[in-house]
Amino acid sequence: MGEHPVAAALTRRAPTLLWLDNLEHVVDAGARALMGWLDAGDHCFLVTSQVAARIEGEHVHAVEPLGLEDAQRLLRVRVREAAPEVPLDEPAVRELAERLDRLPLAIELAASRARLLAPAELLARLDDRFALLRSRQRDRGARHATSRRRSSGPTSC
């Protein structure tokens, strides 16, 4: 079994920063890979994860919630980027930022839906977090039921 392709590539490169996102999904395998890659040269690794890899030299930095003003600002900016025409109801922006616990990732995800739902509408749907999933499943079920009805009748083909 030869050298891992990433390790091989790193040995041929100048010092490099490699960013690995969501390592918690493969934390054991990721930690083993990182240990091998650390031997491949003077490289740095930025890893995002909800779980520490627990390898030598690891520095863990917790990402804390944003302050309320920063959370609102991030929400406004990301909504404007996604859908400039969407009205920003300031009380809804404030409450949505709070209800999303001022967490940057939650704010980014919510703002990405601004093309479909304004902040006030997103806020209204937070009380029933699975409403969108149920409505899509109901629509899908209706489509399948219609397909079944069509296919169960006589065919002329």
Taking the domains of the chain in order of start, what are their residue ranges? Answer: 1-62, 68-129
**What would the mean pLDDT of 65-80 be, rounded to a whole number?**
96
pTM above 0.75, yes or no: no
Residue 145's DSSP bridge partners are none
Please tell me the predicted confidence (pLDDT) of residue 116: 87
Q: Is the per-residue pLDDT at 152 higher than 50?
A: no
Write down the pLDDT at residue 94: 96
User: For residue 89, how many C-alpha atoms fall within 13 Å in the half-sphere facing its CB?
Assistant: 13
User: If you ran DSSP here, which 8-state letter would residue 97 be given?
Assistant: H
